[in-house]
Amino acid sequence: MSSPPRILVTGATGRLGQLLVPRLLARGAGVRALTRHPARANGLRAQGAETAVGDFDDGDTLRRALEGVSHLFLLSPITPTLADQQIAVIEAAAAAGVERIVKLSGSHWTIEPPGRSLSGDAHREIEAALRRSGIAHRVLRPNAWMQVMLARVASELAAGDELHAPPGDPKVAFIDARDIADVAVEALFEQPASREASPEPWVLTGGSALGYDEIASIASRLTGRRIVATPLSAQAQQQRQAANAPSPYIARVHAQFAALIVAGEAEPVSDTVADVLGRPPRTVEAFLAETVAGRVPA
């Protein structure tokens, strides 16, 4: 790359965006963060990022945000209008002359085969639009995030010695969000073989698949307590998901994810993280050491 890229990061104030922006700045990229919440972007500005206030439904602010941009990191929350919104961004990026797009997509098992989930079908439609655009691109399909699926472990163990598990204790190849961010940086700096190429998605997983019995054993070692994993009934899990979902649509999406996980679809492991980064993925044990045992990573 002859000069550092100028990258528009959407979803910049979210969980992944806040990990990605400082990594891109450290690599010398110019970064512009698109956000609907300018106050949340104060920390990004302090690190050296530009900010653009707007959203995907405002064509004028989107066009201004894309001015002078060479690369785009495409990320937005799951909504009923996910496909329409992201396809509009791809079209705006093409009109602005963006050279490369890296899209954070859904988990591979939500997308392939089609018809498995509402969000997976939306991401599949967006990926097809990205291929049609002719813009050089890379799609990232991360597996279940530790920071999402295992976030409740610390609070559950603070309340007692019981860890609630999904029905059947399925194994999951959890991935750390920091590994997703590290791979995204490499994807944004990647030199495509051809502008017209449509490369295969990068399927991102952890290095091994664990069930909740194994997670409880890890937590026991870290805390010195006897932690047990207790599977929830299908009904109890559905009630928990419905209570925590911000809308009926998201509750339905989460129920689809849960059914696929229980069926073992999130178990397969890929080598992509190690191949791209030249190191193994972060482990569940390391994540729990930070969040449950309070250890600072080396």
Q: What CA–CA distance (Å, rounded) separates 187 from 170? A: 31
Cα 140 to chain centroid distance, Å, stands at 8
Q: What CA–CA distance (Å, rounded) separates 144 from 38? A: 29
* CA–CA–CA angle 113, 114, 115 (5° rounding): 120
pLDDT at 235: 86
- Chain segment 122-180, per-residue pLDDT in tens: 999 999 999 999 999 999 999 999 999 999 999 999 999 999 999 989 999 999 999 99
φ/ψ of residue 8, rounded to 5: -90, 125
Side-by-side strand order, sheet with 100-104: 50-53, 30-35, 6-10, 71-74, 100-104, 136-142, 202-204
pLDDT at 111: 98
